Amino acid sequence: MKSRNIQADILDVLLDGKVHTYREIAKKAEVCSKTVYRHIQALAYRFNIDTFRGGIDKGGVRLIKERQINVEKLEVLEMQEIINALQKLKQLSVNIKVFIKNLLQIKEQKELENESRQKRK
């Protein structure tokens, strides 16, 4: 079986976000546990995979789904302070620039919502 097929099978098992044992993944991917272990090490460079040992289940593996930031509770002025602080960074990576752009869009939406609420009053 090709390496990419094994990794695809492993990811298919991990996509549910639950904790799985190496043995369980190996059984579903139809490979040995050592093969799963090697492929999970390789996948961990590209995906947020959490591995641990011990505890009730004697360890396991899980895929941590992408983390998201909730800014709904922030006020417009607080968002602007965050944007200003990020823009002052000496080295702005592409990811930070995208984050600032997204935060600006959310801030503008919130400003429009606040304006429409005030007009209703």
CATH classification at residue 46: 1.10.10.10
Strand partners, 50: 62
Residue ranges making up the domain that contains 19: 3-63
What is the mean predicted confidence (pLDDT) over 87-91? 91
Is residue 9 located within the same domain as residue 51? yes
76-87 vs 94-120: helix crossing angle, rounded to 10: 160
Quick check: is 12 in a domain?
yes
d(CA 48, CA 114): 37
Is 69 part of a structural domain of the chain?
no
* DSSP bridge partners of 63: 49
Neighbours of 115 (CB within 10 A): 10
Q: Are residues 108 and 59 in the same domain?
A: no
pLDDT digits (tens, 9 = 90+) for 8-18: 999 999 988 88
**pTM for the predicted model, two decimal places:** 0.52
Residue 71 inside a domain? The answer is: no
Pairing of strands 49-52, 60-63: antiparallel
Are residue 16 and residue 53 in the same domain, yes or no?
yes
Q: Is pLDDT above 80 for 91?
A: yes
Q: pLDDT of 35-85, one tens digit each?
A: 999 999 988 888 888 888 876 657 789 888 776 677 888 999 999 999 999
Say yes or no: 38 and 86 in one domain: no
Q: Which of 40, 63, 86 is a domain's end point?
A: 63
In a domain, 91, yes or no: yes
Asked if residue 39 and residue 14 are part of one domain, the reply reads: yes
Is residue 13 included in any domain, yes or no?
A: yes
Do residues 88 and 55 both lie within one domain? no
